[in-house]
A = this chain, B = another copy of it.
């Protein structure tokens, strides 16, 4: 019934004291103002303006409208400003979840550059393994999840239906050997050559991948040590307690003097990507986060 333009015009008329002046202030033509007032009057069933010769005054109803117009237009301007701040990345919030080895490398880089570029953004971060982080995205508790899959495994595309996937990097799986290991000076290592070794398994998903690769190489790895912490894995390897498959990403932040890492032969990769919902893709803060992640992954 009452529309924003009507309020704007009534207020302008009250301020300027004339249709023409009000029209100029609003960037309208004079007849536009005239008709708008007439429409509003018809809708409200009462006169809003009163012409006394040259100038124009508001009637009581008109003044009522003008008074409320201040509130309404103020609130709308404020809303507009706040939304524009979000759209312009001067405000906003992103909740990111990432799995541990990315949390140590790509994600901090990305979040740092994000914060540098858009200081107004509030970025929160939680570490979580892929199944959990994806569930959080679905539940709306998380905006961007950084996850990974091993191509070829059954759960490769597990539960990505309805979500948007942004590829970040291909993470080559390495074999971690004690530096004294006979194969340590090879350029690349075939998994079959390690069939007799004692194995150290990392995260559950990577353990699954190890089993899958071993199955293809036709052996059954003897896994004596299991830990989620790749620093620990490297420590165990360095101590000569076994060998391990380690995602290349881990090695960006974790090294060990007594451990050498060699690519697998044939190469095996895990895919690291970011996940969000299609809707959130259009949220500027989310889009900026994804962009920062992609850039950080590329470097």
Chain A interface residues toward B at CB < 8 A: 1-4, 7, 41, 44-47, 49-53, 57, 59-61, 64-65, 67-69, 71-72, 75-76, 78-80, 82-84, 86-87, 92-93, 138-140, 162, 277, 279-280, 282-285
6 extra A-B contacts, CB within 8 A, seeds A3-B3, A69-B79, A72-B75? A1-B80, A44-B84, A44-B87, A50-B140, A59-B280, A67-B79
In whole angstroms, how far apart are the Cα atoms of A57 and B51 in the complex? Answer: 49
Tell me the number of copies of this protein: 2
Contacts of A44 in B (CB 8 A): 80, 83-84, 87
Contacts of A41 in B (CB 8 A): 282
In whole angstroms, how far apart are the Cα atoms of A52 and B279 in the complex? Answer: 9
Contacts of A69 in B (CB 8 A): 79
SS of A interface (majority): helix
Q: Is the CB of B68 within 8 A of A282?
A: no
Q: Is the CB of A52 within 8 A of B138?
A: yes
Q: Is the CB of B51 within 8 A of A279?
A: yes
Q: Is the CB of A282 within 8 A of B52?
A: no
What are 17 pairs between A and B in contact, CB < 8 Å?
Answer: A1-B80, A2-B4, A2-B79, A3-B3, A44-B87, A45-B87, A45-B284, A46-B87, A46-B282, A47-B280, A52-B138, A53-B138, A61-B86, A61-B87, A64-B79, A68-B82, A71-B72
